[in-house]
Amino acid sequence: MKKTILNFALIFCMNVFCHSQTTEKNEYIPIECSCCSLQRDDDGKLIPPFTDPEFPGGENARMRFLIANLRYPVIARDNYIQGTVFLQYRIAKDGSVADVEVLEGVFTPLDVEAVRVVKTMPKWKPATQFGNPICTPTFKMPIRFSLGGVPQYSEKQRDEIIRRLEKEMIRVSEKERKKEERRREREERRRR
């Protein structure tokens, strides 16, 4: 046990020493050694090994974009349905939003609206690894739909309303599908 702790401490100290030195102001200055792959740009400045993707204008601009572009679905608003939709997405090498998925939804129209608004985000500044753009792992983001000054349903009541509305939506879409089939059949008979 002592050997393991000593080995870990020794490796940690070697790692810190190889990667940086301190100055009189206790600032760390990276130095180059055979165990690292630090790279420099044309001006001799160190290129950070990894940078995160960034929304144009920063985090506040992203929040303003979501607030400005999010539209509360009428069916959800009329039935006072509120909740948080959890999404995940990636930022591609070109900065576009990719692979948007709903991790945890509330109500289908709310889920669809959350996906729509995330897909319409402008191109981000992509993540980089040693100055080269890379595709990022997934981001997880909640989008909260809430109506101020409306009746607050319990979770059980909300789920019952959602089930009723989704059944109605399925029934309406089924009715529209049958209507479309009948229209096609009439057209086909006219052609003959």
Q: Is 27 helix (H, G, I), strand (E, B) or coil?
A: coil
Contact 119, 91 (CB under 8 A): no
pTM value > 0.85: no
| Among 140, 137, 61, residue whose Cα is nearest residue 101 | 140
C-alpha span between 86 and 101 (Å, rounded) = 9
| pLDDT tens for the 192 residues of the chain, in order | 444 443 433 333 334 333 334 344 444 444 444 444 556 666 766 666 778 889 999 989 999 999 899 999 988 888 888 889 999 999 998 999 999 999 999 888 999 999 999 999 999 999 888 778 888 878 899 999 988 766 667 777 777 777 777 777 777 677 777 878 888 888 888 887
C-alpha span between 24 and 59 (Å, rounded) = 35
Domain ranges of the chain: 2-36, 59-159
The CATH number, out of the four listed (3.40.50.300, 3.90.1150.10, 3.40.50.620, 3.30.2420.10), of the domain defined by the range 59-159: 3.30.2420.10
Q: How far lies 18's CA from each of 6, 24, 33, 151, in Å?
A: 18, 18, 6, 61
Q: Is beta strand 39-40 parallel, antiparallel or unpaired with respect to 46-47? A: antiparallel
